[in-house]
Amino acid sequence: MQTSKNTILITGGATGIGFGLAEQFLKMDNTVIICSRRETRLKEAQQKLPGLNIRVCDVTRIADRMSLVNWITEAFPNLNILINNAGIQKNFDLTGLIDIAAVEEECDTNFIAPVHLTNLLTGHLRNQPQSAIVNITSGLAFTPLAFMPVYCATKAALHSFSLSLRHQLSGTSVKVFEIAPPIVDTELDGGARDERGQRDRGISPEEFATLAIAALKENVYEAAIGFAANLRLKREAMFGNLNPEHRGS
């Protein structure tokens, strides 16, 4: 994939992995647009990187997704790369009742939104000489952590969707990539790592972005970064390592 002189939309681009990608792509002479539901975070990101274009959008809302697409295709007609990055991560104990609204929010953010945005923009992207859709999944799409079952399931669904999308768009100008990160030191989990006493904070967003963009440049269509490669290739063994035997109360 060409990694310069593109026009790129990154969802969830104000912080974490999305911001890391935005920063690297800006340095490589790209036009970068980021969206997020939090205007304050978008403005903070733009202050750090004045070249960023920003748009408030809650990707869980159908109307927001449609408004985003209408705006961006008019304001940035050369848009040729969509990076579906926005995501949230929650823990659920399936042995008791769970908050189904929280489940719906996680599914809407991590899976429904990228499916819908992809569908809304595919026609536009197909009209570009070179274009790409990049879905950010997770090493946990292949080997789940049992205490965050919905997050892992949504990333597994996005992995499967990426395979089908790549097949259906073969022969067009649109390349379909999947990037599966390992643990990255971001606020994705809302502080749950601290509550668990987890010492491994993972790689930095900047390191992840560098490795991810290198994979895109080499046309690695399914790139599992760092430890995520083990989660993809050694699923059964790694599941036991990640998930000690559950002992009910």
Q: Please report the pLDDT score of residue 229 as a whole number.
A: 62
Q: Cα dihedral sign for 236, 242, 245, 248? A: negative
Residue range 189-203: average pLDDT? 56
Please give the CATH architecture assigned to the domain spanning 7-241.
3-Layer(aba) Sandwich (3.40)
Q: Please report the pLDDT score of residue 249 as a whole number.
A: 37
Catalytic residue among 19, 151, 177, 208: 151
Predicted confidence (pLDDT) at residue 42 exceeds the cutoff of 60: yes
Residue range 140-169: average pLDDT? 94
Q: Please report the pLDDT score of residue 142 as a whole number.
A: 85
pLDDT, tens digit, for every residue of 46-101?
Answer: 999 999 999 999 999 999 999 999 999 999 999 999 999 999 999 999 999 999 99
Q: Please report the pLDDT score of residue 197 as a whole number.
A: 53
* Active-site residue, 151 included: yes
Q: Please report the pLDDT score of residue 248 as a whole number.
A: 41
What single letter denotes the amino acid at residue 19?
F
d(CA 135, CA 114): 8
Token code pair at residue 231: 């989660």
Residues whose CB is less than 8 angstroms from the CB of residue 206 and which lie 6 or more positions away in sequence, other chains included: 20, 23, 24
Half-sphere exposure of 10 (CA within 13 A, CB side): 28
pTM of the model: 0.89
Alpha helices in the chain (DSSP H): 16-27, 39-48, 62-75, 100-107, 113-126, 149-168, 192-196, 205-217, 228-233, 235-242
Residue range 184-191: average pLDDT? 69
Residue range 13-37: average pLDDT? 97
CA-closest candidate to residue 42, choices 82, 12, 75: 12
CA-closest candidate to residue 168, choices 119, 233, 217: 119
Under 8 Å between Cβ of 173 and 133: no
Listed by start position, the domains of the chain span 7-241
